[in-house]
Amino acid sequence: MSLKSYVTPSFLIERNKERCIKCKVCVQQCANEVHRYDEEDDEIISEEHQCVNCQRCVTLCPTGALTIRKNPNELRQNSNWTAEAVRAIYIQAETGGILLTGMGNDRPYPVYWDNILLNASQVTNPSIDPLREPMELKTHLGRKPDSLSIKEGKLQKKLPPQLELELPIMFSAMSFGSISLNAIKSLAEAAKQEGTYFNTGEGGLHRDLYQYGENTIVQVASGRFGVHADYLQAGAAIEIKIGQGAKPGIGGHLPGEKVEREVSETRMIPEGTDAISPAPHHDIYSIEDLRQLIYSLKEATNYEKPVSVKIAAVHNVAAIASGIARAGADIIAIDGYRGGTGAAPLRIRDNVGIPIEFALAAVDTRLRQEAIRNQVSLVVGGSIRNSADIVKAIALGADAVYIASSALLALGCHMCQKCYTGKCNWGIATQDPQLAKRLNPELGAQRARNLLRAWKHEIQEMLGGMGINAIESLRGNRLMLRGIGLTEKELQILGIKNAGE
C-alpha cells in the first residue's frame, strides 16, 4: 500500500493561453517532466508537483506565456510551525530519509558584507582614475619568506612557489561529477583567458582538461578520487580539502547514477558505483597528520607547487588556521557557511558553521598576532556575490576570493537548489548528455570571462576611489571599512569602526 503524499506543490505555473502557441519548447526543456502535450485535446498540461522553479521553460518560451509563482495556497498561520517546517515533516514521514538540498544556505541570517561600507577619498587625498592610471590587481598566493637577501644585485634565495593571479578571484572547487564537463570547461577556459585558476574539486581531472594545467588547482580530498602522480603534476597548486562550508564535518556522496563512463574513468572508480568521500581523511586525525600529508604532496611535486588546505569556517577557525599555517600550508582556503554545494543534508547546510566575514577577520587577526600572517595566503569563499564583497574581504585581510555559486550563475544557474537531483535543466549540475549539451562551453567561457572582467573593473573603480593603485595596499586595510547596524561585539570581531567614527 503506497502512502498518499501530503506535500502540495511549492509553485504554481500560469500559462497565458492567448500567448501559448503550443510549440512544445517547455515540454522538451523540462527534465522534471512537468509539461506534457495532450494530443487528443491539443493542449499542454503542467503537472506542478515536480516543478523546482528553475525558470528554464520561462526563459526559453518564445512568447513569454509562462509565469511561475510561489504557490499562494496557505496553511493556517502559525509563526512556530511555518509551512516549511510542516512540509519538511511530511516529506520525512513519507521517505524516512535525510532531507537533501543543493547550493548554499538560504536562511535569513545576517549578511555581514551588507553591513560594511567602503571609504573614498575627498580633498585631503585625491582619488585615482583607473582609466588614466595603472590600477594593479595582480596577486601572488603562496608562502612569503620573512626577508629577502639581495647581494650585489642578485637574489640570494629563490622565492617559494607562488600562484600568480591577474585579479584576486579564483573559481572554487567543483568536481566533475557534481557539475558537467561543459561547465568545467567553461570555467577552465575563462580562468586561462583572464589569468587565474579553477579548482578540480574532488573529482579528478578529465583528460580534456590537462591542457589547462597551468590554470588548475588540483584537489586531494578524503575519497582520493582521481589522485595519481600525473594529476598532482598537472596542476599549478594542490589543495587538500578538509571541509566545505555547506557541510562542515561530513563527507560527500555522489550517487551511482551520476557515475557514468567519463566520471568513472576520471575518478578511477567502477561505473555506476556510489562515490563516497569519508567525513575525515582517514590518514588525518590530527594536525601532525596534516603536516605529513602536506609534505608528502610537496615531496611528490618537488616543492614546486604551493599546497593549500581548505577548511570550513567553524567556531574555532582562528586556532585551526594557525595550526594549518604551522603545519606547512602555503595557502589556507576558508569556506563560509553560505558556501554552495552539489548536495548536502539540509539541516547541516542550514545550521553548521559561521559567516565567512567573522571567520576571515578572526583568522587574519590571529595570524598577525602570532606574526605568521606572511607565511600563508588567505583565500575566502562562501557566497561572494559581487565585486564589493571582494573589496571588503580583501580589506578585512584576504589575499583573494574563491567564487563558485556566482560562477555557476554566470553560466545560467537559476538557484533552484536541486543540484543533487542530477536533472539540472541548465546543463550545469548534471551528467545527462542531453542536458549537459545545453551548456555550450565556448559561450559558457564567454559569460564567465565577462563576469570576471566586469568585477575587475568595479574593483579598480573602488580602489581608485580610495586613492589606492595596488591591491596589496588594500589587503588588511580595515580602516577603509565602516560598520553600519552592527553591535559593539560584531564591530570588535570584524576589527572595524562604526560609520561616523
Partner 1 sequence: MLREGQIRIPSGCAISGIMNKKGRVFGGGDIINSIAVMHDRSNGLGGGFAAYGIYPEFKEEYAFHFFFDHTTIKNEIEALLKKNFIIASGEAIPIRKSKSIKDAPLIWRYFVRPKHRVLVKQEVDEEEFVVRFVMRVNSEIDGAYIFSSGKNMGAFKGVGYPEDIGEFYRLEEYSGYLWTAHGRFPTNTPGWWGGAHPFTLLDCSVVHNGEISSYDANRRQLEMYGYKCVLQTDTEVVAYIFDYLMRRQGLPLDVIVKAMASPFWHEIDRMNKKEKEILRAIRVVYGGFLVNGPFSILIGTNQGMIALNDRIKLRPSIAATKGDYLYVASEEAAIRQVCSKPEHMWMPRGGEPVIGLLEASQPTRVPVRTEQEKIAINS
Binding positions for ligand SF4, 381-420, rule CB under 6 A = 408, 413-419
According to the binding rule CB under 6 A, does residue 425 interact with ligand SF4?
yes
- Binding partner of residue 110 among partner 1, ligand SF4, none, CB cut-off 5 to 8 Å per kind: none
According to CB under 6 A, which one of 367, 393, 429, 466 is a site residue for ligand SF4?
Answer: 429
Closest residue by Cα to residue 376 from 214, 136, 137, 145: 145
Q: How far apart are CA 6 and CA 3, in angstroms?
A: 9
* Size of site (CB under 8 A) for partner 1: 38
- Binding partner of residue 155 among ligand SF4, partner 1, none, CB cut-off 5 to 8 Å per kind: partner 1
Q: How far apart are CA 95 and CA 2, in angstroms?
A: 11
Q: Is 404 helix (H, G, I), strand (E, B) or coil?
A: coil
Closest residue by Cα to residue 436 from 82, 177, 78: 177
**305's grid cell:** 607547487
CB 384 within 8 A of CB 401: yes
- Binding partner of residue 34 among partner 1, ligand SF4, none, CB cut-off 5 to 8 Å per kind: ligand SF4
Binding positions for ligand SF4, 65-124, rule CB under 6 A = 68, 102-103
**185's grid cell:** 570547461
* DSSP character string of 430-446: ---HHHHTTS-HHHHHH
Closest residue by Cα to residue 494 from 334, 382, 363: 363
Min dist CB 420 to partner 1, Å, is 41
Min dist CB 407 to ligand SF4, Å, is 11
What's at 405, amino acid-wise? S
- Binding partner of residue 67 among ligand SF4, partner 1, none, CB cut-off 5 to 8 Å per kind: none
Q: Is 405 helix (H, G, I), strand (E, B) or coil?
A: helix
According to CB under 8 A, which one of 64, 110, 145, 433 is a site residue for partner 1?
Answer: 145
Closest residue by Cα to residue 381 from 361, 365, 357: 357
- Binding partner of residue 61 among ligand SF4, partner 1, none, CB cut-off 5 to 8 Å per kind: none
Q: Write the interaction track for partner 1 spanning residues 98-127; mark x where CB under 8 A is met and - where it is not.
A: -----------------------x--xxx-
According to the binding rule CB under 6 A, does residue 34 interact with ligand SF4?
yes
According to the binding rule CB under 8 A, does residue 469 interact with partner 1?
yes
CB 69 within 8 A of CB 14: yes
Q: Which among 206-214, 220-228, 281-289, 421-429 is the span making contact with ligand SF4, rule CB under 6 A?
A: 421-429
- Binding partner of residue 89 among ligand SF4, partner 1, none, CB cut-off 5 to 8 Å per kind: none
Closest residue by Cα to residue 265 from 174, 187, 204, 208: 204
Nearer to ligand SF4, 141 or 416 (CB): 416
CB 402 within 8 A of CB 381: yes
CB 177 within 8 A of CB 206: no
Nearer to ligand SF4, 100 or 415 (CB): 415
**Which residues contact partner 1 by CB under 8 A?**
121, 124-126, 128, 133-134, 136, 138, 140, 144-145, 147-148, 150, 153-155, 159, 162, 368, 371, 373-374, 466-470, 472-480
